[in-house]
Amino acid sequence: MTAGFIQDELQALRSASLFRRLRSVAGDQGPTLMVDGREVLNFSSNNYLGLANHPALGKAATAAIERYGCGSGASRLISGNMTLHEELEIKLAELKGTEAALVFNSGFQANTGIIPTLVDDGDVVFSDSLNHASIIDGCRLSRAQIVVYRHCDLDQLEHGLKHAPRSSRKLIVTESLFSMDGDEAPLKEIVELSEKYDAMTMVDEAHATGVYEPDGAGFVSQLRLGDRVLVQMGTLGKALGGFGAYVAGSAALRELLINRCRSFIFTTALPPVVMAMAIAAVELINSEPERRRALRNNCARVRDGLASLGFSLGDSRSQILPLLIGNASECMHLSERLLDRGVFAQGIRPPTVPPGTSRLRITLMATHTSAQIDRALEVFASLDKAIERNDSVLR
């Protein structure tokens, strides 16, 4: 059998400046990282609150391994449903203010499983054009008709809802805080449309969980929309510093997922150590609100600093700051130049973002110090001259 297509594919990716390689990262996931053997400032992590390297998570992990061993041994529906899974689910439901919660092995698995559980052939799913790949794949797997509406465009969403067959089940799915643009969905208006047209709403809070005031529950909760959104999902791998994901909603939704959701049913349960870390993380979300404040202050400092250098950051008001470059090759070149100067700000290219919108995705942590931020801004200022020719997209 010939596999010549592999080399052809790789060559095509290289020619389009879309070839990716894994960077080797050593040390823990703090504000500084060892990347490819060099210490750099880390502005490319989703460890927004600094919990991935918090000693409380390490302590909880060690204790859980001693008490429960390493593996869960089976899927949740066989013998893998350990007490720690249920303890975490109770804590997550409390945090989210919902009747119930269910842990998934990852956000990707959650999205690809939940959507096909809710809609099927003959139904319609409405998906924001900038939704994450896992949502896109979930929509595709569902076999429902997919209506992609322009990013946050309520008129287009309403037009689609109005024209969907009356008898079909309808599902609107959106991120609350968009992963690559750092902007927010108009959730209140989306929920109002869902009620007007009798549609279900599913919100991906992957980047909002842990971060939003007043209590870290997320954007849905901040807007007090919890009772009007059918599905809230989020991950445990970003602000919560560990791994895995959750769905929060009604007890009936939880039961339906346990019975029908293939990516929940047909996989080995997460190890107890991962649950213990997440329990510790949820406790820290409650007990250390100053981390959210520190993150917010750091965001303001970097946003203001970059704005005063003349950089445009789109509609982001969050810890995700997209510095739009446009061209993929130019974007990766800039990312490498930053890295050479000690700042890790990953270039993001298609297919993660739409063609022509490659960007440096700068992400902040509560644990960045003022000195680290000032140093990064100095490096960005030194790049300024080099990217002036991209004037139109940068400013």
Pick between residue 178 and residue 311 the one whose CB is nearest to ligand PLP: 178
> Whose CB is nearest to ligand PLP?
107
Pick between residue 164 and residue 236 the one whose CB is nearest to ligand PLP: 236
Whole-number minimum distance, CB 237 to ligand PLP, in Å?
Answer: 4
Please give the structure tokens belonging to residue 389.
């020719």
The residue annotated as part of the active site, out of 54, 238, 316, 318, is: 238
Whole-number minimum distance, CB 363 to ligand PLP, in Å?
Answer: 11
Whole-number minimum distance, CB 292 to ligand PLP, in Å?
Answer: 19
Give the C-alpha separation, 211 to 21, whole Å.
30
Pick between residue 82 and residue 115 the one whose CB is nearest to ligand PLP: 115
Chain residues binding ligand PLP by CB under 6 A are 106-108, 111, 132, 134, 175, 179, 204, 206, 235, 237, 245
Pick between residue 134 and residue 363 the one whose CB is nearest to ligand PLP: 134
Give the C-alpha separation, 284 to 91, whole Å.
12
Q: Are 233 and 204 in contact (CB under 8 A)?
A: yes
Whole-number minimum distance, CB 375 to ligand PLP, in Å?
Answer: 27
Specify whether 207 is catalytic: yes
The residue annotated as part of the active site, out of 72, 134, 142, 179, is: 179
The residue annotated as part of the active site, out of 85, 96, 132, 207, is: 207
| 97 Rama sector, left if φ>0, alpha if ψ -120 to 50, beta otherwise | left
Among the listed residues 42, 37, 10, the one whose alpha carbon sits nearest the alpha carbon of residue 24: 37
Whole-number minimum distance, CB 185 to ligand PLP, in Å?
Answer: 11
Pick between residue 201 and residue 372 the one whose CB is nearest to ligand PLP: 201
Please give the structure tokens belonging to residue 311.
């950089």
- Which sign does the torsion angle of CA 29, 272, 287, 46 carry? positive
Residue 289: asked if its preceding bond is cis (omega within 30°), the reply is no
Pick between residue 138 and residue 158 the one whose CB is nearest to ligand PLP: 138
Whole-number minimum distance, CB 288 to ligand PLP, in Å?
Answer: 22
Specify whether 59 is catalytic: no
Pairing, β 231-235 against β 245-249: antiparallel
| Active site members | 179, 207, 238
